Amino acid sequence: MRALLATVVVFGLLGCGGFDNDPLRRGTVRGTLEKVTPESAVVIEELPEFFVKPDEKGRFELVDVPQGEVTLLVLASEVNAERLPVEVKGGQVTEVGSVGNRPGALVVVRLTAPEKYGVANARVSVRGLRLERSLRTGVTEVTVPAIGCFTFDLSAPGLGADSKQLCVEGSARYPVEFTVAVPDGSEGREGCSVSGCVEGFMCKADGTCG
C-alpha cells in the first residue's frame, strides 16, 4: 500500500497540468419577465446566492449555476410571482422563456404592538427572497409564488424579533400575524426610545410609553 502511495506521489510530481470539470458542471438559466417592477427578482430557492434582478426589458440570466434540478422563484410584480422547477445542464443554457405571468399569493403581514408603542422601524422580510417590507403602519403586503412554504422574519427594533412560516397553495390572500409583547428588562426600558410611541404618547425614561 505504501509502495503504491509512493508511486502515485512520485509520478504525480513528475506529471503536470490537470483537468478541471467544474466549469462544465455549471450552467446558465435564462428567461424574461413580461412586466418589470423595481422589486422584480429571480432567485434559486435552494441556492439563494444565485439571485438576479432583470434588466429594464425583463431579461434575466443566472450564470454558473451548479448542474441539477433547482427551483426558480420568480417575483415579477405586486401581483405576479411564480415558482418553477428547472433542470440546469452543465455547459448549457437553459431557456425558461417568459415567466412570472402567474398570479402569486398575497401575504398580508400584520404586526400588533403593545398598546401605545410605535412600530415605525419595524420591517418584515421573506427568507431567501431578499424581499423586505416596512411595517410602519403595522400592516404590509408581500406577493410570493402561489405554492410553497416561506419564512417571514420580523425585525422590530426596541421590541424584538420573530419568525413565522407560511405555506401557500394558491393565489389567495394569506395572513401572517406577529404580536410583540411589552419588552422587559433593560431592553424593555429602552424599548420605546427605539420603537417610538403612537401619536399622543411620549416615551418615558424607563422605555415605556406614557
**Where along the sequence are the contacts to another protein (CB under 8 A)?**
4, 7-9, 11-12, 14-28, 63-64, 67-68, 88-93
Q: How far is the CB of 1 from another protein (least distance, A)?
A: 12
- Cβ atoms of residues 207 and 188 within 8 Å: yes
Quick one: 10 exposed, middle or buried, by C-beta within 10 A (0-12, 13-18, 19+)? Answer: exposed
Complex with another protein: residue 96 or 166, whichever CB lies closer: 96
Nearest CB to another protein, comparing residues 50 and 152: 50
Is residue 115 within 8 Å of 29, Cβ to Cβ?
no
Question: Which CB, 26 or 123, lies closer to another protein?
Answer: 26
Report, in Å, the least distance between residue 34 CB and another protein. Answer: 24
Report, in Å, the least distance between residue 51 CB and another protein. 19
Contact 144, 126 (CB under 8 A): yes
For another protein, the closer CB: 34 or 64: 64
In the numeric block, which cell numbers belong to residue 21? 470539470
Report in angstroms how near the CB of residue 48 gets to another protein at its nearest: 21
- Between 16 and 205, CB nearer to another protein: 16
- Secondary structure letter of residue 183 according to DSSP: P
Within 13 A of 177's CA, how many CA atoms are on the CB side? 2
Cα end-to-end distance, the chain, whole Å: 79
Q: Quote the least distance from Cβ 92 to another protein, whole Å.
A: 5
**Cα–Cα distance, 34 to 77 (Å, whole number):** 10
